[in-house]
């Protein structure tokens, strides 16, 4: 039984095809590395590299209700980190300050239509959100983003969820972010991507 070599016409195309596939794979890997590259390590005064912190911590709200949004290194390395954190900061600050107009600027038209001003004030009358942390940003459907966020909320029992009557709740949820009116805004949330614990 003899093995016949492949015809020369097939052999001629095999190497160029392999080179093209390999080149595309390498280029894709390099592009992904650049998009998600960690920033260079900060340097101490003596030029030695310092270890990066594990997270940028979210803090308590100040007396005015303004909130700082912390982030994990994973979230900080996403190209839309600043845009997402800016929206989250404005959103949680607006909730703490009971400022419907400011809150309305951070949410999509669909979300705003589901919560008119009267409902906003009734729902967040005693609410105070602190320790906001952005854990991850992922692409969503049709150009949207999905932000994995955690925060601590205190409120009176009548404003707590009906199925979780607690004064202090630690939330972890996925917030869909939609690009609308020139910026990312928090879109409507379905309850399936929400977890909570008692503080």
For the segment 123-134, what is each residue's pLDDT rounded down to a tens digit?
899 999 999 999
Contacts 24+ apart (CB under 8 A), 112-117: 114/188
pLDDT at 180 over 70: yes
pLDDT at 7 over 80: no
pTM, entire model: 0.69
Give 176 or 9, the one with higher predicted confidence.
Answer: 176
Mean pLDDT of the chain: 80
Q: Tell me what pLDDT residue 88 has.
A: 96
Element (H, E) at 175: strand 168-180
For the chain, the farthest-separated pair of C-alpha atoms sits apart, in whole angstroms, at 88
Q: Tell me what pLDDT residue 70 has.
A: 94
């Amino acid at each position: 039984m003899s093995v016949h070599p492949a015809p020369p016409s097939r052999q001629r195309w095999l190497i160029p095809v392999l080179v093209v596939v390999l080149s595309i794979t390498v280029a894709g890997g390099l592009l992904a590395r650049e998009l998600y590259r960690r920033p260079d390590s900060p340097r101490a005064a003596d030029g030695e590299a310092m270890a990066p912190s594990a997270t940028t911590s979210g803090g308590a709200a100040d007396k005015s209700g303004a909130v700082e949004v912390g982030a994990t290194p994973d979230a900080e390395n996403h190209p839309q980190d600043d845009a997402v954190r800016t929206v989250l900061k404005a959103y949680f600050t607006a909730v703490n300050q009971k400022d419907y107009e400011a809150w309305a600027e951070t949410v999509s038209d669909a979300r705003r239509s589901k919560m008119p001003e009267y409902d906003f004030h009734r729902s967040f009358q005693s609410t105070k959100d602190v320790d906001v942390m952005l854990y991850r940003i992922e692409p969503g459907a049709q150009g949207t983003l999905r932000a994995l966020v955690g925060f601590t909320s205190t409120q009176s029992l009548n404003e707590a969820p009906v199925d979780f009557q607690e004064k202090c709740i630690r939330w972890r949820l996925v917030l869909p972010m939609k690009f609308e009116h020139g910026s990312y805004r928090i879109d409507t949330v379905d309850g399936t991507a929400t977890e909570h614990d008692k503080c």
